[in-house]
Amino acid sequence: QVQLVESGGGSVQAGGSLRLSCVVSGDSDSNYCMGWFRQAPGMRRERVATLDPAGVVYYVDAVKGRFTMSQEQGKKLLYLQMNSLKPEDTAMYYCAARSPSNSYACAQGIAYQTWGQGTQVTVSS
């Protein structure tokens, strides 16, 4: 079991950048699928990007070319670099983890079991 704590959210103007961080503690030496998700007010939570144990990152179309997910320090830090931000990127962003037992579920953001508390991103036009 891992624990996840996000940081790095804030308020920016459209076209700006933010980098979100997620500190992974606990059983961080084990392999997990990791993901970034977001939830806007009144909307369902959606997948942003997921990372499988092989290091392959899967992005949703809405963020391709603008967001980059990466992992460092022996899997203890997870990042989401967000460039060219748009007002529609405004949401609470969450870091999440799941077991790597199902590669399809990992990639599609299905049944992620462990979640951080979230960090708010607000993009103004």
Cα 10 from chain centroid (whole Å): 15
pLDDT digits (tens, 9 = 90+) for 37-77: 999 999 999 999 999 878 899 999 999 999 999 998 777 89
Residue-level pLDDT at 95: 97
Would residue 107 be called left, alpha or beta, if left means φ above 0 and alpha means ψ between -120 and 50 degrees? alpha
Work out the percent of the chain whose per-residue pLDDT is above 70: 98
Residue-level pLDDT at 91: 98
Beta bridge partners of 94: 37
Residue-level pLDDT at 28: 61
Mean pLDDT across the chain, nearest whole number? 94
Residue-level pLDDT at 29: 65
